[in-house]
Amino acid sequence: MPEELLQPFTVQLDFTSGLLAPDPVVLDRRLSDMQGYFLEEPAADALAYSVHEIHVPKTSNNLLSSTTVLAPGKVGNEFFMTKGHFHAVRDRAEIYLTLSGQGLLVMATEDGTAKTLDMTPGGASYVPGHWAHRSVNTGDEPLVFYAVYIGDAGYDYATIADEGFPVVVVDNGQGPEVVENPRYRRS
Ligand SMILES: [Fe+2]
């Protein structure tokens, strides 16, 4: 028996709102927290997304999980998105289960290979280790997904903050389009 035996528990998850009950950890990201992430700077501030995390110890024997609620909207012609990150421990994998809304899961390796997958309700996407990941809301409703990842994965936001992703998702007037990021590795 381990020194500190965790007790099993259940958290209620609302598939539409992404709310958890009980909801011990919430992180809000506003557009003002995302300076430099979009091709244009946001003209006004707004809540971009909230993360509701189920709290367990951040160790390799636990599975961390969270819901993310990403608002619909655009900055210029670029859809609202999460900051995106590599895992600090690069080989740690993650599963994204889309609960409601429509979006794209944008991924990239350190050598600049990009991959995007549709996010639609019921879609369970596997993000292998070594792939940075970001979600993009291409719809008119909140994009809500549940993510599960190895507890000691950690976050490396700095690499994405410095370099961006190789591709961005823009509205071309007829719908979402994945295009090359002209500012990739701008630093
Ligand atoms: Fe992650």
Cα-to-centroid distance, 145 and ligand 1 (Å): 12
pLDDT of residue 129: 98
Q: Is residue 53 included in any domain, yes or no?
A: yes
Cα-to-centroid distance, 18 and ligand 1 (Å): 17
Q: Is residue 7 included in any domain, yes or no?
A: no
pLDDT of residue 187: 58
Cα-to-centroid distance, 45 and ligand 1 (Å): 25
Q: Is residue 142 included in any domain, yes or no?
A: yes
Q: Is residue 98 included in any domain, yes or no?
A: yes
Q: Is residue 2 included in any domain, yes or no?
A: no
pLDDT of residue 4: 80
Number of domains in the chain: 1
Residues 39, 41, 44, 46, CA torsion sign: positive
Instruction: Give pairs for 19-22: CB < 8 Å, separation 24+.
Output: 19/52, 19/67, 20/52, 20/54, 20/67
Average model confidence (pLDDT) across the chain:
96
Dump pLDDT digits (tens) for 96-135. 999 999 999 999 999 999 999 999 999 999 999 999 999 9
Sites in the chain below the pLDDT cut of 70 = 1-3, 187
Strand order in the sheet with 47-54: 25-30, 47-54, 63-70, 143-150, 94-100, 124-127
Q: What CATH number does residue 123 fall under?
A: 2.60.120.10
Cα-to-centroid distance, 111 and ligand 1 (Å): 18
pLDDT of residue 90: 98
Q: Of all helices (H) and strands (E), which one includes residue 162?
A: helix 158-163
The neighbourhood of ligand 1, an ion, using CB within 5 A, equals 94
> Can the peptide bond before residue 142 be classed as cis, meaning omega within 30 degrees of 0?
no
Domain carrying residue 144: 12-180
Q: Is residue 145 included in any domain, yes or no?
A: yes
Cα-to-centroid distance, 129 and ligand 1 (Å): 9
Cα-to-centroid distance, 174 and ligand 1 (Å): 30
Cα-to-centroid distance, 173 and ligand 1 (Å): 31
In whole angstroms, give the CA distance from residue 63 to residue 57: 9
Cα-to-centroid distance, 157 and ligand 1 (Å): 10
pLDDT of residue 33: 96
In whole angstroms, give the CA distance from residue 87 to residue 92: 7
Cα-to-centroid distance, 141 and ligand 1 (Å): 23
Question: What would the two tokens of residue 60 be?
Answer: 């390799």
Q: Is residue 45 included in any domain, yes or no?
A: yes
Question: What's the pTM?
Answer: 0.95
In whole angstroms, give the CA distance from residue 153 to residue 65: 12
Cα-to-centroid distance, 149 and ligand 1 (Å): 7
In whole angstroms, give the CA distance from residue 160 to residue 30: 17
